Amino acid sequence: MARSTTSKVGSPAGQLHVETNTTPGVAYQLTDQDPLLDEKQCTLDANMMADLGANTIRVYHVDPTQNHDACMTAFANVGIYLFLDLDTFDTQFNQVLHTLSNPLRQVPNPASP
């Protein structure tokens, strides 16, 4: 991961020091279908993305009833991380009530015990 430092001199607090991180990545969802179900396509895409220098993908929607292990392994094998939106095509976060719809609660969290 690339790291760069930005400094600004002359601010009221003296010198401002800010570190930024760059994450080269890809938005990985071309259709309204779950992109993490086709192991062959994921493996092909993961290798190509890694060759191009990407280390992260963002997936907008998944089907929480399906198994994503094969595609997750394909991306992990080449060092690509995943940002996954926690909604599905028929769910959303209610911005007024700040609640999740029931189907959204079904999206699995592989990091949880």
**17 domain-assigned:** no
At 9-45, the pLDDT tens digits run 555 555 555 666 677 888 888 777 889 999 999 999 9
**66 domain-assigned:** yes
**Res 14: pLDDT:** 54
- Nearest-10 Cα torsion for 6, 79, 37, 23: 10
3-state helix, strand, coil in the chain (%, to 5): 25, 30, 45
- Copy the structure tokens of residue 23: 């994450």
**90 domain-assigned:** yes
**Res 103: pLDDT:** 53
Q: What is the pTM of this model?
A: 0.63
Give the span between the Cα atoms of 107 and 105, in whole angstroms: 6
**Res 41: pLDDT:** 95
User: Any idea what the CATH number is for the domain that residue 80 is in?
Assistant: 3.30.750
Is it the case that residue 87 has pLDDT exceeding 60?
Answer: yes
Domain carrying residue 63:
24-106
